[in-house]
Homo-oligomer: A and B are copies of this chain.
Amino acid sequence: MKFKIDVELKYRVATDSTLILNIHALKTAHQKVLSESFKTSLDIKIEELNSVQGEHRFVRLEIPKTNHIGISYQATVDNSFTIKDYTMVPELKIAKLSPEILTYLYPSRYCQSDKLYNMANNLFGHIENDFNKVIAISEWIYKNVKYLGGASNSQTSALDTLVEQAGVCRDFAHLGIAFCRALTIPARYFTGYAYQLNPQDFHACFEAYINGDWVLFDATKLAPLNGMVKIATGRDAADTAFGNLFGDINFTFCKISCDTEEENFEPFHQQEQGHQGISYA
């Protein structure tokens, strides 16, 4: 399905600074970037970088001391997904996982799964089938954690969210990931643009590795799962911040849109009792 992305960002730059942006739509076998444009209000070098394993596309900017810099990004993206029935998922075999996947079993900055073995097993350990476990995790978060702008900050971790039970999409995703890993289900952070997200913003969800697929879950339920344009995946938000700022530089403005021209978009939402999971490549 085709999506049009339109992003406008502004920063105040008080000293010479480096800005690493992670806002480009990822290019994968299942997500084609048909056209894109990245511009800045200053005439500076734009350096595009790719991560080693292909989970990100960075842009690095060296910005001189200035008042403000404006950044705009437009893209037209054509992506595809698969919806499958995961009713009969065989048990995950650690012994079959490749090293790249094993990484997503280990705790990370914002997903301290090593502290959650008992709780994850108490809450979800009795559920058969990894897919059903992750559905239950996602529902538990949806029901227990209040979506509340300003309830968290860039240092908030899954443990904080678990205890305080309030947060934003980033926090919902971190807690989902932490529970999955505590149950020995590989899980990773997903950032992207989300069609019908209201208000529009960068969005975050999580993917769990089930029967060889990275299945997407969104415990916020704020947007249809089939309207996502992937920016990056990583261990958590530490890997995938949309902007990493070095110097005295501050984020001041953001305007995002993610639209489609398709006429008959049928939103796919994860059902509490559902067996259908969605994966983007």
Question: Which A residues have a C-beta under 8 Å from some C-beta of B?
Answer: 18, 20, 47, 49-53, 56, 58, 60, 62, 94-95, 98-100, 102-103, 105-109, 111-112, 114-116, 118-119, 122, 143-144, 146, 154-155, 159, 162-166, 184, 238-239, 241, 244, 246
Contacts and interface: CB of A to CB of B under 8 A. Distances in A.
A119 B246 contact: no
A244 B122 CA distance: 22
B238 A108 contact: yes
B52 A106 contact: no
Nearest to A159: B163
A184 B109 contact: no
A53 B20 CA distance: 22
A245 to B, nearest CB: 10
Given A106-B239, A115-B164, 16 more contacts: A47-B95, A49-B98, A49-B99, A60-B95, A94-B246, A106-B241, A107-B238, A108-B108, A109-B114, A114-B238, A118-B146, A118-B165, A122-B144, A159-B163, A163-B163, A184-B246
> At the interface, is chain A mostly helix, strand, loop or mixed?
mixed
B162 A122 contact: no
A18 B108 contact: no
- Copies per complex? 4
Contacts of A102: 20, 58, 244
A52 B52 CA distance: 9
Contacts of A166: 118
A94 B18 CA distance: 7
A144 B119 CA distance: 7
A273 B94 CA distance: 43
Contacts of A95: 18, 47, 60, 62
A57 to B, nearest CB: 10
B163 A52 contact: no
Contacts of A49: 98-99
Nearest to A47: B95
A99 B105 CA distance: 22
12 contacts: A20-B94, A102-B244, A103-B239, A105-B244, A106-B244, A112-B155, A114-B238, A116-B163, A118-B164, A118-B166, A119-B144, A119-B165
